[in-house]
Amino acid sequence: QVQLVESGGGSVQAGDSLRLSCAGPVRTGPGYAIAWFRQVPGKERVFVAALTRSGNTYYGDSVRGRFTISRENSSVNLQMNSLNPEDTAVYYCAATVGACTATSCRDRRLYRSWGQGTQVTVSS
């Protein structure tokens, strides 16, 4: 049971930046990872980025080079640069109950704790 609260979403223009924050996911102990997923109406919830306790980071193909996941105190942030309309979605923070690999971290079925989501809208 991990309480996750996302913040930082909003409406921006293409090319702008946003920083999302996931409050409360950082903890001590092995096998803990935090990830961001996003979902648009009529689509599946897809992987965006993940950060493991050991410091490994993984990114979805569509955001690699533009988004950066990092830890700040007890929060995990997602810095989003060069936003485009295809990034419009509800963004969710999620936490695992165990370790994950570069492949398994991308599977939403691995995550048992989810936040309520924060809306990101990018206008062209």
For 36-48, write each residue's pLDDT tens digit.
999 999 999 999 9
CA atoms within 13 A on the CB side of 91: 30
DSSP state of 73: T
Rounded-to-integer distance, Cα 33 and Cα 63, Å = 19
What pLDDT, on the 0 to 100 scale, is given for residue 3? 79
And the tokens for 104? 């398994």
3-class SS of residue 16: coil
Rounded-to-integer distance, Cα 16 and Cα 93, Å = 21
For residue range 18-70, list pLDDT tens digits in order: 999 998 766 655 567 899 999 999 999 999 999 998 889 999 999 999 999 99
Q: In terms of Cα–Cα distance, which of 114, 89, 109, 67 is closest to 10?
A: 89
What pLDDT, on the 0 to 100 scale, is given for residue 112? 86
Mean pLDDT of 69-89: 95
Of residues 82 and 54, which shows the higher confidence score? 82
